Amino acid sequence: MTRESRLIIILVVLSIVAVMAVVFVYRGKNTIEAGSESKPRIAVILKTVDYKNLAFWQTVKDGIESAAKDFNVEISIQGPMSETQVDEQITIIKNALKTKPDAFVIAAADFDRLIPVAKEIKAANIPLVTIDSFINGDMADTKIGTDNYDAGQKAGAALMEIIPSGSKVVIMSYVQGTSSAIDRESGVRDFLNGRVDLEETIFSGGEIDVAYKQASYILDSDPEVRGIIALNDPTTIGAARALSESNRKQDVVLIGFDNSLTVLGFVEAEVVKDTIVQKPFNMGYLGIKTALDLIQGKKADPFIDTGSKVINRQNMLLPENQKLLFPVSR
């Protein structure tokens, strides 16, 4: 083999190696770019997925899905059928943890019982955002929802604008142990203590039929009761149905929570004198947006208050309240 032939062979080999190196780098670059284009995965675990009967959670879901579309993230939404099924929610979270999502957004069914599974999430270095109802301690990177203590204070103040001091009042709550119920009741009690005769709080489990039976019994058995504060949508509906069927609509004042069409119908009929309206769409939307910020290494406020407002027949049709009461999703 001549010297020229060997040189040609060497040049050909070097050319092939160079081409292969370029191809390898190009393919690697494409692989990295493709990986960077994959959507962040966010596991959303709600207190309940009973959207048919609970308009509040349907609106939360609408906010979540709207944000997922706007920010191009992949979401999975799960939860038990009842807000009282805490163990089932914990199981759902544990199973979701096995899929290694990029972040969790959780509406906690219990303030204390979710602490262990929240610790597992933090041990896995997965960002955790809680919405609506929270977990005890500093487990979550961010909490997003109503300032429920303040909302409870608003409910108490609304009642005191109508009934005289010293009246007997009953608080009807929903699920015992969930942070939103705890904080709302605390707000109501702190405002009303010393102003009225407060009875022991009763819990409906977030069930309309249970709240209906409880309120019916109160109205039938205790003629001294002058005020009822119901702390969520199903409890408000049950209490309102009982009051509307009783002969005590003129002497018992009902203050409620939330803005399902059924509750707003009772507000229009003045069976519910005032309802404290939250912003569930914002909770869902900001939950996803904040989770994405955390995935991307951005900082987030430890608590984001989505706000609440007192709504009654006199102000419900004002233009500034229309978007709050009648979300586009309806």
The DSSP string of 68-133 is HHHHT-EEEEE--SSTT-HHHHHHHHHHHHHT--SEEEE--S-TTTTHHHHHHHHHTT--EEEESS
pLDDT tens digits, residue range 262-289? 999 999 999 999 999 999 999 999 999 9
Q: So what's the pLDDT on residue 111? A: 98
Count Cβ neighbours within 10 Å for each residue of 204-213 and write b for 16 or more, e otherwise: bbbbbebbbe
Q: So what's the pLDDT on residue 150? A: 99
pLDDT tens digits, residue range 17-51? 443 443 333 334 333 333 446 899 999 999 999 99
Q: So what's the pLDDT on residue 15? A: 46
Q: Which CATH number fits domain 41-146+280-307: 3.30.450.20, 3.40.50.2300, 3.40.50.12280, 3.40.1390.30?
A: 3.40.50.2300
Q: So what's the pLDDT on residue 60? A: 98
pLDDT tens digits, residue range 308-319? 999 999 999 999
Count Cβ neighbours within 10 Å for each residue of 168-200 and write b for 16 or more, e otherwise: bbbbbbbbebbbbbbbbbebbbebbeebbebee
- Judged by DSSP in three states, 220 sits in helix
Q: So what's the pLDDT on residue 328? A: 61
- Judged by DSSP in three states, 256 sits in strand
Q: What is the DSSP letter of 247?
A: S
Pairing of strands 103-106, 303-305: unpaired
Q: So what's the pLDDT on residue 323? A: 84
CB 127 within 8 A of CB 151: no
Closest residue by Cα to residue 185 from 176, 165, 107, 109: 176
What is the domain partition of the chain in residue ranges? 41-146+280-307, 148-277
Q: So what's the pLDDT on residue 326? A: 84
Q: So what's the pLDDT on residue 303? A: 98
* Number of helices followed by number of strands (H, E) in the chain: 11, 13
Q: So what's the pLDDT on residue 158? A: 99
CB 105 within 8 A of CB 119: no
**Which residue positions in the chain have pLDDT lower than 50?**
2-36, 330
Which ranges in 109-259 belong to alpha helices (H)? 115-123, 148-160, 179-192, 208-221, 233-245
* 41-146+280-307 and 148-277, same CATH topology: yes
Angle at 78 between CA 109 and CA 52, to 5 degrees: 85
CATH superfamily of this structure's domain 148-277 = Response regulator (3.40.50.2300)
CB 86 within 8 A of CB 113: yes
Alpha carbons 193 and 133: distance in angstroms, whole number: 25
What does the mean pLDDT of the chain come to?
Answer: 91
